Amino acid sequence: MSDQNHPIYFIGAGPGDAKYLTLEGSEALASCSLVYAVDPYPETFARHLSGMIVQDPFERVFNELIQEVDEAARSAPVGFLVPGDITVFSPFLPIVEHFAERSRVIAGVGTLNAAAALIKQTLDMPGVSHSVVLTSPKHIDKAGDAMDLGQLARAAGTMVLYMNNRPLEQLAEELSGGFAPDTPAAILSRVGMEGEKVYRCTVSTMAEVVGEDDIFGLVSGDPSLAIIIVGDVLKAKSDPAFWNKRKEKFWNKKKEKNKKQS
C-alpha cells in the first residue's frame, strides 16, 4: 500500500469485553501499530493490543488527533476501538468523515445486541411491540426542541435508553408520560464483563430496585455503558403458532417453487 494510504479502522468493540470483537475486527486490529481506546478497553483488550501503541483519543483536540493519525498511517494502519459500536450516539463520526475513503468501519457486537442476548429477549413481538425507539435523555436535553421522553414513549412499543443522565425517580416520572407504571424494565451494565449487572424492575420501581448503586455515574462522574430497556416485550410470551405460520408462508412455498423448477 502506498505512502499515506493506509486505512483507518473504526472497530466496533461492544460493551467492553474482547469476546464481542468480530473476526474481521480482530484481523484489522492485528494489522495496526497505533490504536486509540478509552477505558476499560486498553485493559479488557490487552491481549489483542500487545506490542501496539495505545492512546486515549480524548486527550487530544480534533485537529491534533487528525494530524497524529495521519502521520502514523503513513507507515501502518491505525485503529480506533469504538465503544458500543458506531450505530448510535458515537462521537467518532467526524473522524470517519474526515478520512473519507481511507476510513473502514467494522461492525461489532454492540451493547444493545449483547444486552438483549444476556436477557434472552427480542425487542419486538407480534401483538406486543411493533416498534423500537433508541434514544438518550442526554441527547434529548441537547436537542432542546426535540420531543420529550414521554412523547417518545407514547410512540414506542419498546424503548432503549442510552447514556441516562437522570436520577431514576425523575426518569420514571418522564417515562410515565407514555408507559404505565407497571411496564417492565431492565437496566443492564458492564454486559459480559466482571461486575455485570441486570436489574429487573418496572417503570415505577426503577429507583427502588437499583437503590444506591451509582450505575450511571451521576455521583462519581464515571458512567458505565449501561442501558435501559422498557416495554411489555420483557414480560410477554411469544406465540409458537407464528413459527408454523412462517413455515407455511415462506419455507413451504419456497420448497414448492424449487420443486417446480427442478
pTM for this one? 0.88
CATH of domain 113-234: 3.30.950.10
Over the stretch 111-143, which tens digit does the pLDDT of each residue have? 999 999 999 999 999 889 999 999 999 888 876
Position 58 scores a pLDDT of 96
Class of domain 8-109: alpha beta
Q: Phi first, then psi: give them for residue 110, nearest 5 degrees.
A: -70, 165
Domains 8-109 and 113-234 share a fold: no
Picking from 219, 218, 114, 222, the residue whose alpha carbon sits closest to that of residue 171 is: 218
Binning pLDDT at 50, 70 and 90, where does residue 52 land? very high
Over the stretch 189-248, which tens digit does the pLDDT of each residue have? 999 999 999 999 999 999 999 999 999 999 998 877 899 999 999 999 988 887 888 788
| Count of Cβ atoms closer than 10 Å to residue 67 Cβ | 11
**pLDDT over threshold 50, residue 2:** no
Binning pLDDT at 50, 70 and 90, where does residue 1 land? very low
Over the stretch 77-107, which tens digit does the pLDDT of each residue have? 999 999 988 888 899 999 999 999 999 999 9
**Domain regions of the chain by residue span:** 8-109, 113-234
Helix (H/G/I), strand (E/B), else coil: 34: strand
If phi over 0 gives left and psi between -120 and 50 gives alpha, with beta otherwise, what is residue 88?
beta
Over the stretch 140-167, which tens digit does the pLDDT of each residue have? 887 665 568 888 998 899 999 999 999 9
